Amino acid sequence: MNWERPTVNLCHTTCGAGPPLLLLHGVTRWGADWQPLLPALAEHWSAIALDQRGHGGSPRAASYLVADYVADAVRFVREETDAPLVLVGQSLGAMVAAAVAAEVPDRVRAIILEDPPFHTMGNRIEGSAWQAQFIGMQEIARRGGSVEDMTDALAEIRLPSGDGGCHRLGDRRDRASLAWSAQGVTQLDPEVLTPVIEGRWLEGYDFPDVLSRVRCPAWLLQADPSAGGALTDADADAIVHAMAICHHVRFPGCAHQLHRDHPEKVLRVCAGFGNSRVDSI
């Protein structure tokens, strides 16, 4: 698979000393999204948090396919890091991390994949609550305003429910969570969400091929699909069987943002390299 696409110079921050650990955030987020983990990680790692293209302080770009984010990250790993590193990615960042491990295996010693959505936010997004949420977020990003105004607007996004009705995003997430999302939206290029909403996000990203080429140890962190997780059980099983070494860790009752909602549990995984397989936390 060819990731030789035009790349951008990514904004990043580094804290701590030790072996390198690269943190890749999810869509609509930015590097500071990893704040709940950084103090503990910095005790043992040189933790690098990227702002991916179109997010945070990184430049806006002409294209926002997952393959574009992969090309950026591959360039960063090749040119900006010196030693084999650990990659930790959430959602979009998890899909990027897997592809980087497949593309530059000599530069990656292990990966942690936090609730990668794959086609939940790809060709299966049509009519889903995820699509409705991203349509609402894009409209809010285009309109602009203060963090407080955006927090109010995010709370009013209407999401379809399984019974044919709908509910507010504010009924599913608390005010602090919405305010943090609003901070990300203030720094977001609204066009980031166009390929996601249109179901074309994964064009050029063949994830069965990517996963089959990952040779380093991998930890797959699965949120609970019934609680707002994006990784389905069927996709999780396929990932485990596709990768050479994959430890599958389930988080029952937990939603998509595992590292923000349950940082202590995610840190236990980060500290557990080399331990035997764990089925749940």
Boundary (domain end) residue, out of 180, 197, 214: 197
Higher local confidence (pLDDT), 70 or 274: 70
Boundary (domain end) residue, out of 141, 175, 197: 197
Give yes or no: residues 47 and 102 share one domain: yes
Give mean pLDDT, residues 183-211: 97
| Residue range(s) defining the domain that contains residue 95 | 14-123+199-270
- Which pTM does this prediction carry? 0.95
Task: Reply yes or no on whether the pLDDT at 33 is more than 90.
Answer: yes
Share of the chain above pLDDT 90, in %: 88
Look up residue 84 and give its two tokens: 């084999």
Give yes or no: residues 106 and 53 share one domain: yes
Task: Reply yes or no on whether the pLDDT at 281 is more than 80.
Answer: no
Look up residue 268 and give its two tokens: 């236990």
Give yes or no: residues 65 and 107 share one domain: yes
106, with CB counted inside 10 A (0-12, 13-18, 19+), is: exposed
**Residue-by-residue DSSP string for 108-141:** EEEEEEE---GGGTTTT-TTSHHHHHHHHHHHHH
Number of domains in the chain: 2
Structure confidence at residue 133 as a pLDDT band (50, 70, 90): very high
H or E stretch at 209: helix 207-212
| Cβ–Cβ under 8 Å, residues 222 and 251 | yes
Q: What is the 3-state secondary structure (H, E, C) of 235-257?
A: HHHHHHHHCCCEEEEEECCCCCC
Give yes or no: residues 87 and 204 share one domain: yes
Give yes or no: residues 23 and 133 share one domain: no
Q: Is residue 165 part of a domain?
A: yes
